[in-house]
Amino acid sequence: MPATTPGGLVPRDDIVACLEKYTATAGATVRTGLQVKSVERDAHGAFMLQRSTGNISASVVVLATGAYQRPHRPGAST
């Protein structure tokens, strides 16, 4: 992501635009604000995310949470 201001800072709206462009190019689905109770692999190797509003199956899962300045990576086991 190129810096768009002197000093190398990237404005929030530029970060959002870059992520939206990337996900569109990659064909990725972004879901925010989900409360996931568990993530497990099924018999075919896909991830099954258990939520109170229904399950989701995915081939790739990215867990991200925390403030921009302080990332938090939830514990995970493989």
Q: Where are the domains of the chain?
A: 1-30, 32-72
- Give residue 27's pLDDT: 87
Residues 6+ apart with CB under 8 A from 34: 49, 51
- Give residue 24's pLDDT: 92
Mean pLDDT computed over 42-65: 87
- What backbone phi and psi angles, to 5 degrees, belong to 65? -155, 165
Q: In whole angstroms, what is the distance from residue 64 CA to residue 21 CA? A: 18
* pLDDT above 70 as % of the chain: 76
The answer to whether the predicted template modeling score (pTM) of the entire model surpasses 0.75 is: no
